A and B are shown apart, each in its own frame.
Chain A
Amino acid sequence: MQEHIVTSFDAELKDLSAKLGRMGGLAERQLSDSVLALSRQDEPLALATIRSDDAIDRLEMDVEESAIVLIAKRQPMAADLREIVTGIKIASDLERIGDLAKNIAKRVVAIRGEMQPKRIMTGVEHMSRLAMAQLHDVLDAFTRRDVEMALDVWNRDSEIDAMYNSIFRELLTYMMEDPRNISLCTHLLFAAKNVERIGDHSTNIAENVHFLVKGQLIGADRPKQDSTSFANVEPPMDDDD
């Protein structure tokens, strides 16, 4: 796009973009570290992840402040205005992703010492990989202003939701199999829910990329398949009576 007549306006927009880029990088790192810490039971890594969430929070405030100053100073129009408004929204999604990753890391500390059969962990790990790919792709789409790529992410969120449903049921069966699994499985269930939420935030970012580039909101309803709020599992029947 052609540059502004006032070059400092361009510099400020670039600065905003750079901050969002840094936030995106940090959020990705937070997510992958927390998932790694969970699957390896790496407590030091989990604690480090919890601590580093502060950096994302600070960047979010920084982005917000720059955006407000930009609006007040430049009275941006059209694409510039969208750039700034979506910047604020994307920053808040990334901040939430950081929080959710921090929550996952906290679970690692909570389930310390529990017996952790590999098969129980697999589902959550797999789901996390999907969420990481989603986040990575949507941040790429944002950097490249690539609507097609953003739409692709948007459409794929249902995969994460579907996987969350199946993990929910799977973990319930483990709990029913052996009550000693309950503590671990409950923590894993919360971790899985956090991952699912991260997927939703990536979808939000995808919607914002669409609005940023096209100037219009995505029309159709978001594909949503998380039905666990309505899920119910029957307890095993006793055959004795």
Chain B
Amino acid sequence: MMNDTRMEFQTMEQPMAAEQMRNDTLKMTARDVDVFYGAKQALFGVNLDINNNEVTALIGPSGCGKSTFLRCLNRMNDTIDIARIEGEIKLDDQDIYDRKIDVVELRARVGMVFQKPNPFPKSIYENVAYGPRIHGLARNRTELDDIVVTSLRKASLYEEVKDRLDEPGTGLSGGQQQRLCIARTIAVNPEVILMDEPCSALDPIATARIEELIDELRENFCIVIVTHSMQQAARVSQRTAFFHLGKLVEHGETQEIFTNPRDQRTHDYITGRFG
């Protein structure tokens, strides 16, 4: 009862201003997204708005479709032969599944950080320089150096590696490797950063560093993160989407989802009652 009045109040208050704000901050939209792996349907009619300068967390039990959805956002599912996607996903106002879209360019705009840190078997410098070089973002060595240093700084790694940029990236600790991967992603100037359980292979201190970094990156990027840690979702995200059995069950402000979720399934999952 109280819930209803509150929601009504929210939507009725200055509809023009609210709509305006929405359009300004909306970065990606998914409409009626279905995904099939062969005959098996993995996602069912997912509708989700993703705001710029916000962290959106995707949570849900294993196999719920959250990673599948994340991979739709930069067409990583294209690499799976049997995967088929229906519906519409837009980046700004552009349909990313449009035939005219260059997938390589799309993935530069929508970067990705994976669960296991996967630096190239090259130097720290080369790991970061690789992307800008192939995308032609630097005209000369000085510009490239600049991009590498800035990216490492933004990824809060520079101070730790500035004296050994020529050493192999694989020689860093797990947490440093993950931040190197984030620097590599940032280096090509993306608009959206997708993170697929970026901390699940890291210890608590390295995890805290990444979370701190995510919070800083939010200022300049739109971030979507898949995480199995409810606490992490609660800590780093502004919005949370709960997936279950391929459906988007509930989506809303993180604070709301974790203190007073509307759907019983969300409640049972976040409180550890899923059976």
Contact = CB atoms under 8 A, between A and B. Distances in A.
Main secondary structure of the interface of A (DSSP, over half): loop
Contacts of B142: none
B270 A77 contact: yes
B11 interface: no
B2 A78 contact: no
A229 interface: no
Interface in A1-33: 1-6, 9
B20 interface: no
B260 A216 contact: yes
A6 B272 contact: yes
B275 interface: yes
Nearest to B256: A215
A55 interface: no
Interface residues of B, number: 18
A79 B271 contact: yes
A146 to B, nearest CB: 15
Contacts of A219: 2
A80 B275 CA distance: 17
B275 A78 contact: no
A5 B274 CA distance: 7
Contacts of B270: 77-78
Given A214-B2, A216-B3, A219-B2, A77 B260 contact: no
Contacts of B72: none
B2 A216 contact: yes
Contacts of A80: 271
B79 interface: no
Nearest to A77: B270
Given A2-B268, A3-B273, A77 B234 contact: yes
Contact of A5 (B6, B258, B273): B273
B230 interface: yes
A120 to B, nearest CB: 44
A159 to B, nearest CB: 24
Interface in B194-240: 230-231, 234
Interface string B237-275: 000000000000000000000111100000110111111
B259 A78 contact: yes
A232 interface: no
Nearest to A2: B273
A47 interface: no
A81 interface: yes
Interface string A206-237: 00000000111001000000000000000000
B5 to A, nearest CB: 9
A82 B268 CA distance: 14
A6 B273 CA distance: 8
Nearest to B1: A214
Contact of B260 (A1, A76, A215): A215
B258 A77 contact: yes
Contact of B275 (A5, A9, A75): A5
A1 B273 CA distance: 9
Contact of B267 (A6, A74, A75, A79): A79
A82 B259 CA distance: 8
Contacts of A2: 268, 273, 275
In this complex, the member of B259, B268, B272 whose beta carbon has the largest number of chain A beta carbons within 10 angstroms is B272
Contacts of B259: 77-78, 81-82, 215
Contacts of A74: 272
Contacts of A215: 259-260
B231 A75 contact: yes
Contacts of A5: 272-275
Interface string A57-76: 00000000000000000111
A207 B258 CA distance: 21
B66 to A, nearest CB: 18
Contacts of B267: 78-79
B3 A4 contact: no
A78 B260 contact: yes
A236 B77 CA distance: 91
A77 B2 contact: no
Interface in B58-107: none
13 contacts: A2-B268, A2-B275, A4-B272, A4-B273, A9-B272, A74-B272, A77-B230, A77-B259, A77-B271, A79-B271, A81-B259, A214-B3, A215-B260
Q: Please list the 9 inter-chain residue pairs (A to B) with the smallest Cβ-Cβ separation, ordered nearest first.
A: A215-B260, A77-B270, A2-B273, A80-B271, A4-B272, A216-B2, A77-B271, A77-B258, A78-B271
Given A79-B271, A219-B2, 9 more contacts: A1-B273, A5-B274, A6-B272, A9-B272, A74-B272, A76-B271, A82-B259, A214-B2, A216-B2
